[in-house]
Structure formats: structure tokens, C-alpha cells
Amino acid sequence: MALIVQKYGGSSVADAEAIKRVAQRIVAQKKAGHDVVVVVSAMGDTTDELLDLAEKVSPMPPARELDMLVTAGERMSMAVVAMAIEDLGYEARSFTGSQAGVITTSLHGNAKIIDVTPGRIQEAVGEGAICIVAGFQGVSQDTKDITSLGRGGSDTTAVALAGALNADACEIYSDVDGVFTADPRVVPSARRIPQLSYEEMLEMAASGTKILHLRCVEYARQYNIPLHVRSSFSQKPGTWIVSEVEESEGMEQPIISGVSHDRSEAKITVVGVPDKVGEAATIFKALSDAEINIDMIVQNVSAVSTSRTDISFTVAKDAGKEAVAALKKVQEKVGYDSLRYDDQIGKVSLIGAGMRSYPGVTARFFDAIAASDTNVEMISTSEIRISVIVGEDQIDAAVRAAHSEFQLDSDQVEAVVYGGTGR
């Protein structure tokens, strides 16, 4: 007998039919003799609809009230899932994040989990009930207000709960059959990855693969919780995310796990920065004071004739306006000439733990990118990742080129997207 935490995403609980199907799956685990704790997301596009509603009512809703509103989506799901389970003859009890003991920081809209004290869940499980917990939310330790964990945060609820409950496994159900070597909408021949290490999944999540919330993977690694990512619409084996990928018999692990892309960033260039000590520090201090996260950075060598240089970096498009405003404030102090803002860009990344010990990966990647006629604007690397910034209209071609260069294409179409509106 094991304790299993399952998490169902929005498209898995989109309507009454879907909820009944999910209830069957949950009950099947219980019938097999396991204890089950379930985390649910809001039904379908509910979160987006609630945000749209708030925007219509007020252009700048108070953060506290916005969290009260959006977290209601998950509370609807938990109640109806519990009802569907009761209808199958099993005892189910639903709990809000706060009731489940999810304690967070007080930052509305993007709170972080500090602690999970799941006393009520343990008690209910001990009494034989199936627990359904509302994902994406908690209660602030200081203010006692309800907080939300940021978009996609239900994954993190599931992993944090699994950690606190010392669960044997954490299953993340969505509308695709696992993690693929590329986004199947861009590369239809993308292949399912049977096993991935936490570090590879972290790099993928950080470079645009949306299947798992980044913080959820960080948690899973920290507490060493194996994650099983699969579809609630099929019985396919999915993807396991574990600390060490096993070498299957007679088969070496591929050097490259996948190619991810990200369309959510913009590039800012600070033009004509005087080549003096401390200029970069002033620029990045201004951005950090405005709480803006920077991704890639490139500084060119200064031109001999002018002793000036350009510094380019990328930020989330959402933070673009604030970044420009923060930089304008230090224009005089730094003495730069002008700013350039470009949001017609994207990031393409090649990820694989194997590249650490194989020479030539970088050369092959750039060769493939060049052959797809894509111009590289910026480059950054980690031990197991190479990322490039390219023009927005070249993202798809670059992803496909890198994907085939490393022989990741499957000869049959494996990727089925079962649900979701892609919103």
C-alpha cells in the first residue's frame, strides 16, 4: 500500500464528463489499495475568465481581492471532484489550500510556499477518505490572507504536499502524454521522453517547456520526489522525472534530451554605454531595484574610436515597460546614448545532460541553426544547455533544425494533444 498524490490540470477537469472520468481514475487507485490525495486546478479556462472579469470591474484590482477571486476557481473544482467520487461510493473530502496547511509568503499573485502542515489531510486519510485539495493557493503566514502561487502553481501544491506527506509518488496529469523532445505544435514528430533528470527538467522548464511549473521541479529535486507526468485522457506510460536517469539495457542515454523554445521574452539594448568601471553595475542595480528578472546578457567590445559599448539583455515581455522606465531614470548617471526595445524575438534552447561529456555538440547546434537560415542574436549556456535568441519568425525553423540534427524525430506521430484550448 502506497500514498499517492495526484494532480489534475484544468483541461482534465474542464466539464462534468471530464470530472467523472477523473473520479474513476482516482477511485481505481483507491481500489488498488492505495491512499490517495488529489490536487486539482481550476476547471478549463476558469482562471483566465476570472482574471478577465476582474479587469472589466477594475483596471487595477487590489492584489488581496484578486487572489480571493482567482483561488475560487480551484475551490469549485475540489468540491465537484469530491461529489463525483462520493457518487462512485467512496468517501471524499475537499480542502482549501489553507485547510490543507499550505503556508506561504504574503506576496499576492506569486506567493512562495514556506511550509506545509497537512494535519487535517493526514487525519482524513487515516479515516479512509480520499482528500481533494485546491491547488495554486495557500494562506500567508504573516497576514493570514489567502494567497495564490503564480500561474500554473497547482503543480507546486502537489509536489509540496507530496513532500510533507512523505508520499511514494506524485503523478501530474495533464492533456499530453508526458514531456516531449519539443513542443508537438512546432515539431509534430516530437518524441516522448521516458525518463528525465531533475536538472534537465529544470533547464527545460526555465527555457519555455510549459508542462511543469519551474518551482514544482525545484521542490521535487529538493525533496527527491519522483514525478510522473502523464495524460488523464490515456493510459500511456508518460515521463518519469527522477534524480538519476537509468541506462536501459543495451541502450545509451541520448546526448540531447530536447529542444525548447520561449516566446515570452523581449530584448533591450542600452546603446553607447561609456566603457568605464561600474557602468554595468549601475544599469543592473536599477533593474534589480525595480524587481525585474534578467535572463541573457551580452556586452560587446567597445569601439576603439568612441570608447563606448552596447549592452543587451532579455527580460519577460510583461516587465518590458518597467525595465525601460527604470533604465531611463539612470540615463544621465550612466551617460548612455539611447535604448532599443525589441519584442519580436524568441529563445531556442538545446538541453541534455550528455552534452557535458560530448565535444562537438555546440558546433552541430550552430551548424543546424545556420542551415535553417536563422540569425543568432545572443547566446548563453549552462553545463547542460545552449540557448540562442533569434527573430520571432525564425523560432519554429530553428527548433525543427536542432531537433532533426540531434535525431530526436520519431518516425510515427506520438504526440496527441487531448484537450485544452491552448489559452
Question: In the bound complex, what is the minimum distance in angstroms from residue 274's beta carbon to ligand ASP?
Answer: 44
- Judged by CB, which is closer to Mg ion: 53, or 303? 53
The C-alpha atoms of residue 286 and residue 263 are separated, in whole angstroms, by: 25
Give the residue nearest to Mg ion (CB). Answer: 10
The C-alpha atoms of residue 289 and residue 283 are separated, in whole angstroms, by: 10
With CB under 5 to 8 Å by kind, the binding choice for 147 among Mg ion, ligand ASP, none is none
Which of 282, 383, 387 lies closest to 345 in space, CA to CA? 387
With CB under 5 to 8 Å by kind, the binding choice for 73 among Mg ion, ligand ASP, none is ligand ASP
Q: Evaluate whether 103 touches 115 at the Cβ level (below 8 Å).
A: yes
Q: Evaluate whether 283 touches 311 at the Cβ level (below 8 Å).
A: yes
Question: In the bound complex, what is the minimum distance in angstroms from residue 172's beta carbon to ligand ASP?
Answer: 10
Give the contacts of 252 (CB within 8 A, at least 6 positions apart). Answer: none
- Judged by CB, which is closer to ligand ASP: 9, or 208? 9
Which of 123, 130, 118 lies closest to 27 in space, CA to CA? 130
Q: Grid coordinates standing for 277? A: 568601471
The C-alpha atoms of residue 1 and residue 128 are separated, in whole angstroms, by: 13
- Judged by CB, which is closer to ligand ASP: 99, or 299? 99
Between strands 308-316 and 113-116, the pairing is unpaired
- Judged by CB, which is closer to ligand ASP: 42, or 399? 42
Using rule CB under 5 A, residue 41 touches Mg ion: yes
Question: In the bound complex, what is the minimum distance in angstroms from residue 47's beta carbon to ligand ASP?
Answer: 4
Stretch of 38-46, 286-294, 370-378, 387-395 lying at the interface with Mg ion (CB under 5 A)? 38-46
The C-alpha atoms of residue 356 and residue 361 are separated, in whole angstroms, by: 9
- In degrees and rounded to multiples of 5, residue 395 shows phi and psi of -60, -55
The C-alpha atoms of residue 351 and residue 209 are separated, in whole angstroms, by: 11
- Judged by CB, which is closer to ligand ASP: 42, or 92? 42
Give the residue nearest to ligand ASP (CB). Answer: 154
Q: Grid coordinates standing for 296? A: 541573457
Give the count of beta carbons closer than 10 Å to the beta carbon of residue 262: 21
Secondary structure (3-state) at 247: coil
What residues line the site for ligand ASP (CB under 6 A)?
9-10, 41-42, 47, 73, 135-136, 151-155
Stretch of 27-35, 40-48, 206-214, 236-244 lying at the interface with Mg ion (CB under 5 A)? 40-48
Question: In the bound complex, what is the minimum distance in angstroms from residue 12's beta carbon to ligand ASP?
Answer: 10
Stretch of 8-16, 255-263, 321-329, 334-342 lying at the interface with Mg ion (CB under 5 A)? 8-16
Secondary structure (3-state) at 345: strand
Under rule CB under 5 A, which residues in 127-166 are in contact with Mg ion?
A: none
β strands within 41-125, DSSP E: 92-95, 102-104, 113-116
Question: In the bound complex, what is the minimum distance in angstroms from residue 73's beta carbon to Mg ion?
Answer: 8
With CB under 5 to 8 Å by kind, the binding choice for 232 among Mg ion, ligand ASP, none is none
The C-alpha atoms of residue 287 and residue 316 are separated, in whole angstroms, by: 12
| DSSP H helical ranges for 146-273 | 154-164, 198-206, 214-223
Give the count of beta carbons closer than 10 Å to the beta carbon of residue 328: 11
Question: In the bound complex, what is the minimum distance in angstroms from residue 213's beta carbon to ligand ASP?
Answer: 7
Residue 236 identity: K
Question: In the bound complex, what is the minimum distance in angstroms from residue 349's beta carbon to Mg ion?
Answer: 23
Question: In the bound complex, what is the minimum distance in angstroms from residue 134's beta carbon to ligand ASP?
Answer: 10
Stretch of 4-12, 71-79, 292-300, 340-348 lying at the interface with Mg ion (CB under 5 A)? 4-12
Question: In the bound complex, what is the minimum distance in angstroms from residue 397's beta carbon to ligand ASP?
Answer: 30
- Judged by CB, which is closer to Mg ion: 61, or 150? 150
Stretch of 10-18, 19-27, 197-205, 336-344 lying at the interface with Mg ion (CB under 5 A)? 10-18
Between strands 376-382 and 385-391, the pairing is antiparallel
Using rule CB under 5 A, residue 97 touches Mg ion: no
Task: Please identify which residue in 4, 5, 10, 162 interacts with Mg ion, judged by CB under 5 A.
Answer: 10
Site for Mg ion, rule CB under 5 A: 10, 41
